[in-house]
Amino acid sequence: MNKFDQIDNFTAELLDNLFSGRNLNADPVSPQAAKIRELFSISALDNQTGNIVELFKILKLARASQGFSPLAFDISRQDLVDLALKHQQIDEHRVSIGGRVDKALSIVSEAGSRVDWYLEQKDVSAPSGIELWDRIEQNHLRIRQLLGMSMEDWNSFSGQLRFAVESVETLGEILNLPAEAIEEVSRVTRNYRMRLTPYYAGLIMPETLDDPVLLQAVPTGEMVDNAGIEIPPVAADHSPARLIDQFYPRVVTIKATNMCAMYCTHCLRIAHIGKKDRIYTGKAYEEAFKYIRDDSRIRDVLITGGDAFMLPDEMLLRLLGELDSIDHVRVKRLGTRIPVTTPQRITRELLDILEMSNDRKPLRVVTQINTAQEITPVSREAFKQLSKRVSAVMNQAVLLKGINDTRVKMWKLCETIQEAYVRPYYIFNCSYRNPQFAHLRVPVKKGQDIVESMYGNISGDAIPRFIATAGGKIPLHSSNVTGAEGRELILRKPWSGEEVRYPDPDPVEYVRHDIAFNKFEKNDGHEAGDQEQEQSRLRGQGQNPGTR
Ligand SMILES: *Cc1c(COP(=O)(O)O)cnc(C)c1O
Ligand code: SF4
Q: How many domains does the chain have?
A: 3
Q: Which of 239, 244, 247 to mutate to test the pocket of ligand 1 (most atoms within 8 A of CB)?
A: 247
**Strand ranges across the sheet with 481-485:** 481-485, 488-492, 499-503
pLDDT in tens, 499-521: 999 999 999 999 999 999 998 98
* Residues 137 and 219 grouped into a single domain: yes
* Residues 184 and 313 grouped into a single domain: no
* Residues 375 and 492 grouped into a single domain: yes
Domain limit, last residue, from 116, 146, 177 = 116
The band of 129, judged by pLDDT with boundaries at 50, 70 and 90, is very high
Using a pLDDT cut of 90, give the percent of the chain over it. 82
Average pLDDT, the chain: 92
* Residues 111 and 141 grouped into a single domain: no
* DSSP H/E element including 352: helix 348-360
Stretch 183-190: mean pLDDT = 93
Atom of ligand 2 nearest to the CA of 266: 7
* Residues 155 and 85 grouped into a single domain: no
Return the higher-pLDDT residue of 546 and 306. 306
Residue 236 has pLDDT above 80, yes or no: no
pLDDT at 397: 98
What is the Å distance from ligand 2's center to 324 Cα?
A: 26
pLDDT at 224: 87
423 Cβ closer than 6 Å to some ligand 1 atom: no
* Residues 377 and 272 grouped into a single domain: yes
pLDDT at 548: 34
pLDDT at 531: 58
Least confident range of 52-66, 133-147, 262-276: 262-276
- The closest alpha carbon to 394, from 369, 359, 429, belongs to 369
Atom of ligand 2 nearest to the CA of 263: 5
**Strand ranges across the sheet with 473-475:** 244-246, 251-255, 300-304, 331-335, 363-367, 392-399, 423-429, 465-469, 473-475
What is the Å distance from ligand 2's center to 489 Cα?
A: 43
Kindly state the DSSP code that residue 263 receives in the 8-state scheme.
Answer: -
The conformational region for residue 472 under phi > 0 = left, psi -120 to 50 = alpha, else beta, is: left
Q: Hey, whose CA ends up nearest to atom 8 of ligand 1? A: 251
254 Cβ closer than 6 Å to some ligand 1 atom: no
- Which structural domain, as residue segments, surrounds residue 197? 133-225
Q: Which of 237, 243, 253, 292 to mutate to test the pocket of ligand 1 (most atoms within 8 A of CB)?
A: 253
Highest mean pLDDT pick, 140-154, 433-447, 524-538: 140-154
What is the Å distance from ligand 1's center to 192 Cα?
A: 26
**Residue 80, Cβ neighbours under 10 Å: how many?**
23
Does 257 map to a domain?
yes
What is the Å distance from ligand 1's center to 452 Cα?
A: 23
The predicted model scores a pTM of 0.91
What is the Å distance from ligand 2's center to 16 Cα?
A: 65
Atom of ligand 1 nearest to the CA of 245: 13
pLDDT at 23: 74
Does 233 map to a domain?
no
What is the Å distance from ligand 2's center to 465 Cα?
A: 20
Return the higher-pLDDT residue of 45 and 541. 45
- Residue 396: beta bridge partners? 426
pLDDT at 546: 41
At 516, give phi and psi (nearest 5°): 45, -130
Q: How far apart are CA 121 and CA 298, in angstroms?
A: 46
43 Cβ closer than 6 Å to some ligand 1 atom: no
CATH number, domain with residue 465 = 3.20.20.70
Atom of ligand 2 nearest to the CA of 335: 2
Domain limit, last residue, from 225, 252, 268 = 225
Least confident range of 230-239, 260-269, 315-324, 418-427: 230-239
* Residues 286 and 374 grouped into a single domain: yes
Return the higher-pLDDT residue of 27 and 470. 470
Residue 58 has pLDDT above 90, yes or no: yes
Atom of ligand 1 nearest to the CA of 467: 7
What is the Å distance from ligand 2's center to 305 Cα?
A: 8
* Residues 357 and 292 grouped into a single domain: yes
Q: Three-state SS for 402?
A: coil
pLDDT in tens, 78-122: 999 999 999 999 999 999 999 999 999 999 998 998 999 999 999
247 Cβ closer than 6 Å to some ligand 1 atom: yes
The ligand placed nearest to the CA atom of residue 364 is 1
Stretch 57-68: mean pLDDT = 94
Stretch 13-38: mean pLDDT = 87
Residue 4 has pLDDT above 80, yes or no: no
pLDDT at 191: 85
At 500, give phi and psi (nearest 5°): -130, 155
394 Cβ closer than 6 Å to some ligand 1 atom: no
Q: Are 403 and 370 in contact (CB under 8 A)?
A: yes
465 Cβ closer than 6 Å to some ligand 1 atom: no
pLDDT at 233: 58
What is the Å distance from ligand 1's center to 146 Cα?
A: 41
Q: Which of 269, 309, 365 to mutate to test the pocket of ligand 2 (most atoms within 8 A of CB)?
A: 269
Does 234 map to a domain?
no
Q: Which of 223, 253, 264 to mutate to test the pocket of ligand 2 (most atoms within 8 A of CB)?
A: 264
pLDDT in tens, 431-476: 988 888 999 999 999 999 999 999 999 999 999 999 999 888 999 9
pLDDT at 523: 65
Residue 5 has pLDDT above 80, yes or no: no
pLDDT at 235: 59
What is the Å distance from ligand 2's center to 242 Cα?
A: 20
* Residues 211 and 275 grouped into a single domain: no
The band of 379, judged by pLDDT with boundaries at 50, 70 and 90, is very high
The ligand placed nearest to the CA atom of residue 464 is 1
Does 151 map to a domain?
yes
Does 239 map to a domain?
no
Does 125 map to a domain?
no
Q: Which of 268, 302, 304, 336 to mutate to test the pocket of ligand 1 (most atoms within 8 A of CB)?
A: 302
* Residues 267 and 221 grouped into a single domain: no
392 Cβ closer than 6 Å to some ligand 1 atom: no
Q: How far apart are CA 268 and CA 222, in angstroms?
A: 16
* Residues 252 and 220 grouped into a single domain: no
What is the Å distance from ligand 1's center to 425 Cα?
A: 12
Residue 547 has pLDDT above 50, yes or no: no
pLDDT in tens, 294-353: 999 999 999 999 999 999 999 999 999 999 999 999 999 999 999 999 999 999 999 999
What is the Å distance from ligand 2's center to 308 Cα?
A: 10
* Residues 317 and 175 grouped into a single domain: no
Question: CA angle 526-529-535, nearest 5°?
Answer: 100
Residue 543 has pLDDT above 70, yes or no: no
Does 287 map to a domain?
yes
Atom of ligand 1 nearest to the CA of 238: 13
User: Which residues have CB under 6 Å of ligand 2?
Assistant: 260, 263-264, 267, 269, 273, 305-307, 337, 368
Does 122 map to a domain?
no
The ligand placed nearest to the CA atom of residue 262 is 2
Domain limit, last residue, from 116, 144, 162 = 116
User: What is the Cβ-side half-sphere exposure of residue 47, based on CA atoms within 13 angstroms?
Assistant: 3
Using a pLDDT cut of 70, give the percent of the chain over it. 92
Q: Three-state SS for 326?
A: coil
